[in-house]
Amino acid sequence: MFNVPVAFKLKTNGKYIMKKNKREYELQTAVCSWLKARHPSIPFRSMPNDVYKDKDHQDGRSHPDTLIMKPAGRWHGLAIEFKKDQATIYRKNGTIRQDKHLLDQLACMRDLLALGYLTAFIWSLDQGIDIITKYLENGDAE
């Protein structure tokens, strides 16, 4: 059984929405809780932002928050970067924000794509469930 974290509420249309003033940590926790409950045998690793501050144990790049280590289709795995909302990535005109950290994340995600990992930005619980489900069923997120 999947227990929805308190940071979310279920709307009457069956969609989950994040309560105001909650950060991407709660989204990451909710998606990981769903993944563990729905697919307990699938290996994955998810690290909160605070873990990345230890530069001695990583290559210094802006890696995605979560890696699902189950091959699907032509992909070796699925790398996910959580954002608190879509506005964290895109401007109102639809272009990518020119934030150094975001651009570093995009560069790392492009490199992972070239190495055979599907990558995705996720900013809602429903979107996360949908992308992971499609990846595991079809080997794609489309």
Report which of residues 113 and 2 the model is more confident about.
113
Q: Determine the pLDDT at residue 88.
A: 82
pLDDT of res. 13: 67
- Express each pLDDT in 128-140 by its tens digit: 999 999 999 988 7
CA distance linking residue 82 with residue 18, whole number of Å: 13
Sort residue 21 into left (φ over 0), alpha (ψ -120 to 50) or beta.
left
| pLDDT tens digits, one per residue of 13-23 | 666 665 555 57
**Best-predicted range by mean pLDDT among 8-12, 33-37, 84-88?**
33-37
| Residue 138: both structure tokens together | 């079809």
Confidence band for 38, pLDDT divided at 50, 70 and 90: very high
Q: What does the pLDDT average to over 67-91?
A: 92
| pLDDT value for 20 | 52
pLDDT at 25: 86
